[in-house]
Amino acid sequence: MARGRFVTFEGGEGAGKSTQVLRLIAALKRSGIKALATREPGGAPGAELIRGLLVEGPPELWDPLAEALLHNAARRQHAVLTIWPALERGDWVVSDRFADSTLAYQGYGQGLDRTTIDALRRITLNDFEPDLTIILDLPVSDGLARAKVREAGKASRYELMSEAVHERLREGFLDIAKSNPKRCVVIDARASDDHVADEVRRVVGDRLGVSLLNG
């Protein structure tokens, strides 16, 4: 049985990752491909418990290294219990965030050094990485405004971080894409959900060699 494919969505707050994960999952299933939607932090029972620690509370709750350790602990559980078994079954896995978010948020955004982040990633995942990463990009002010409407006053720790942090992590995602052109594609998330979904299907088709049906 052929191994499944692993697709991740990355980007700042309010970029529409969760929506596009579901849109891609629907397109894959319409096209006869078994697919699983998941998220980080989370995606497995223990990882979901850690998610609560990470997304709730004030922005300054965690030291950046402690925060990165928590993310990698959750990611290990996610990979071992959810992602890798699904890929071995031949299913596709589509995740709302993965390891690039730790580099962007704790690295570019909060100043944790790249050597430490890379070491944690190797310990957690060895050389495993997504087959394709789609980075949804839009101006920080637009993304935070969208997130505020979506959360209806229940903002996460990350949404409450300063605009300067969000500007740095946006640049971080763009830098990650520039440094990994074979894996990463940037899509302008200012467009409508339908237009972005069309672009996602096109990119997945071109990069991973599948033909996806429109809904």
Please state the domain extents for the chain: 7-186+202-208
pLDDT tens string, the chain, 215 residues long: the values are 689 999 999 999 999 999 999 999 999 999 999 999 999 999 999 999 999 999 999 989 999 999 999 999 999 999 999 999 999 999 999 999 999 999 999 999 999 999 999 999 999 999 999 999 999 999 998 888 888 776 555 778 988 888 999 999 999 999 999 999 999 999 999 999 999 999 999 999 999 999 898 86
Domain 7-186+202-208 listed as CATH 3.40.50.300: yes
Q: What is the pLDDT of residue 151?
A: 58
102 contact partners, CB below 8 Å, separation of at least 6: 68, 71, 72, 75, 117, 120, 121
Strand partners, 134: 9, 185
pLDDT digits (tens, 9 = 90+) for 48-61: 999 999 999 998 99
pTM: 0.94
C-alpha Rg value of the chain to the nearest Å:
16
pLDDT of residue 153: 57
116: left (phi over 0), alpha (psi -120 to 50) or beta: alpha
Per-residue model confidence (pLDDT) at position 192: 94
Please tell me the predicted confidence (pLDDT) of residue 143: 87
Greatest alpha-carbon pair distance for the chain in Å reads 47
Tell me, what's the pLDDT at 98? 98
* pLDDT at residue number 149: 74
CA dihedral 181, 87, 42, 32 (to 10 degrees): 90
Q: What is the pLDDT of residue 120?
A: 98
Phi, psi torsion values for 36, nearest 5 degrees: -125, 130
